[in-house]
Structure 1
Amino acid sequence: MPSFPQFNPARIRSYVFRLPLCTRVLAAVMICLYIATIPFPWLREFGQLEPAKMNFTQMHRLNLFPLMHLNFFHMIFNLIALTPLLERFESEFGTLVTLALFTGPFGTIPGGVYTLLEKFVLHSNTIVMGASIWVFLLLSAEVMKTHKTNPTFNVGPYKIPTWTTPLILVLVTSFIVPNVSLLGHLCGAGLGYLWASGYIKFLVPHEKILRWVETKLNLLARLPHYVSVDQKTYGRYGVLPTSSTPGAPLGNMPRSPEPGQKLGP
């Protein structure tokens, strides 16, 4: 008989307690906002992205719409999909970078592009909300790393480019899940491709500024589960420091077999 993995609440509890700080905060905000919309349903209308209402007095919607959800199942499914991706991103780039991006350009840019396309190209007013735009953004960024080591995967006799996986998921989701925004998901995925390709790395605050803030406020010592600029899993942009001297030690850090070679996907 095949053995199936058993549901283990202790492992889930351990995983949740190990989540880095910004991932915890964003997840908690999503849950709290959903709970708040039960007695105050007007909060959902206040935060949802409605293209027809967008003007300079409604810019808060670009920051709030990924955090708002239509109902409990919408919120919980997005939370389950987003948490491991966001945790991986924060472990790689640090808490300050994650906070700056996901409370700023990772919401405003895809939301702004979506609004412009809806208003001036499609002449429509489809309302969107939910963290799925971040899910496809992070999926696109992750799959671009995989694409470098595994450019294709096989489906029967066909070879499918690995980088197209999020686009396939966007299409499948739009067919099988009711009331999802194909355009909104594509806007999120597009920004993820740009991020992974390095075209928008300028959105990240300069490392000297991040180090100054961390040192000045002593964030690493004061905040539990905080991920420092210097203590991320893969270094600032996924590359470990290496030495040009073959015998130069790197302490406890694993070293590439060739000087300057990137480790991992």
Structure 2
Amino acid sequence: MFRWSDLTRPNGQPPSALTTGLLAFLLLLFCLNKVIPINDAMSLSPKGIFNPGRLSNYPLAHLSLFHLFFNAFSLVGPLNVFESQHGTVHTGVVLNLTAVMTGLLYCLFGKLFYPDTSIAGASGWCFTFFGYFSYKESAISPRYHIPNSNFAFPTVLAPMVLLILISILVPGVSFWGHFFALMVGYFLGAKEKAFRKIMPPSWIIEKIEDKAEPLIRLIPSWVKFYREKDMTERDVAKYTSLFAPHDPLPLHNAVETQPSGGRVLGTA
């Protein structure tokens, strides 16, 4: 059966370095905003489409402790796993690129429909990775069966169901911010090799790691830095289900058949 430790300690390894550091950094920025209004400089509205800082930094801003906690809790699992499979520096670049892609889509669409509405928060990243993993998971389990019921729906649409529920139940969330982040996640899952064409090549990432080696050595042993040179099988490795390895039995009871048959991402 699926276990929380599979997400927070992928493959039995310590928590991933970037994931752990990012969560600590988000908390630091939240506390710093109480002294200096940095959120005002990071939130993104359609008017900021030509502002590179806002396009890449809006996921770092959070307006409430609940907003921060919910996003951190939702992000820690999928980001830990992604980093363990792709490398630490590689994952950092993916975070930046997907934030910019989501931001551009939000701004271009918003020029027509919500020109004065801003977004902020890491829930965009959450939906990007929800979309990525749901697409990958759908190749192994095409349909998700609701526990203790006979109802099922396509696995790839699970994040869309979550998006709709959150939009209904949580006032003030940015439906379009989440939606475009989810679309970027689907694209990343479906066209990962194509996405890597806009990524720095591995040799550049390895150079960055070589230059940062003195800092990497300072990383404590209770987190794991995944080096680019150890990710040589990334392009050919097959996706492994997050749910199947520890549950050889069906996740649902099969039905017997006869032989013939201002808004922000995640809070107000």
1:139 match: 130
Query: Comparing both chains, which one has the higher relative contact order based on Cα–Cα distances under 8 Å and sequence gaps of 6 or more?
Result: 2
Q: CA deviation at 1:263?
A: 6.2
Once residues 44 and 211 of structure 2 are traced to their aligned partners in structure 1, the CA distance between those partners, rounded to angstroms, is: 37
Q: CA deviation at 1:169?
A: 0.6
Once residues 30 and 220 of structure 1 are traced to their aligned partners in structure 2, the CA distance between those partners, rounded to angstroms, is: 20
Q: Assess, with a 3 A threshold, how the Cα gap between structure 1 residues 123 and 136 changes in structure 2: closer, same or farther.
A: closer
Quick one: which amino acid aligns to residue 208 of structure 1? W
Q: Assess, with a 3 A threshold, how the Cα gap between structure 1 residues 128 and 263 changes in structure 2: closer, same or farther.
A: closer
1:3 match: none
Once residues 157 and 226 of structure 1 are traced to their aligned partners in structure 2, the CA distance between those partners, rounded to angstroms, is: 43
Once residues 184 and 87 of structure 1 are traced to their aligned partners in structure 2, the CA distance between those partners, rounded to angstroms, is: 23
1:226 match: 225
Gaps of 5+ in 2: 242-268
TM-score (norm 1): 0.76
Identity %: 27
Deviations 1:51-106 (A, max 9, x none): 23x153x321111110100111100111111111111111010011011121x211
Conserved? CA contact 1:47–1:68, under 8 Å: yes
Equivalent runs, 1:117-132 vs 2, <5 Å: 117-120=109-112, 122-132=113-123
Quick one: which amino acid aligns to residue 128 of structure 2? L
1:28 match: 24
Q: CA deviation at 1:123?
A: 4.3
Quick one: which amino acid aligns to residue 227 of structure 1? Y
Equivalent runs, 1:197-236 vs 2, <5 Å: 197-198=190-191, 199-215=194-210, 217-218=212-213, 222-224=217-219, 225-232=224-231, 235-236=233-234
Gaps of 5+ in 1: 1-10, 241-261
Quick one: which amino acid aligns to residue 227 of structure 2? S
TM-score (norm 2): 0.75
1:154 match: 145
Q: Assess, with a 3 A threshold, how the Cα gap between structure 1 residues 36 and 92 changes in structure 2: closer, same or farther.
A: same
Conserved? CA contact 1:110–1:187, under 8 Å: yes
Quick one: which amino acid aligns to residue 108 of structure 1? V
Q: Helix, strand or coil: the match of 1:150? A: coil
Quick one: which amino acid aligns to residue 264 of structure 1? T
Q: Helix, strand or coil: the match of 1:180? A: coil
1:170 match: 163
Larger Rg: 1
Conserved? CA contact 1:152–1:160, under 8 Å: yes
Q: Helix, strand or coil: the match of 2:59? A: coil
Once residues 44 and 218 of structure 1 are traced to their aligned partners in structure 2, the CA distance between those partners, rounded to angstroms, is: 32
Q: CA deviation at 1:119?
A: 0.9
Size of the aligned set, in residue pairs, is 225
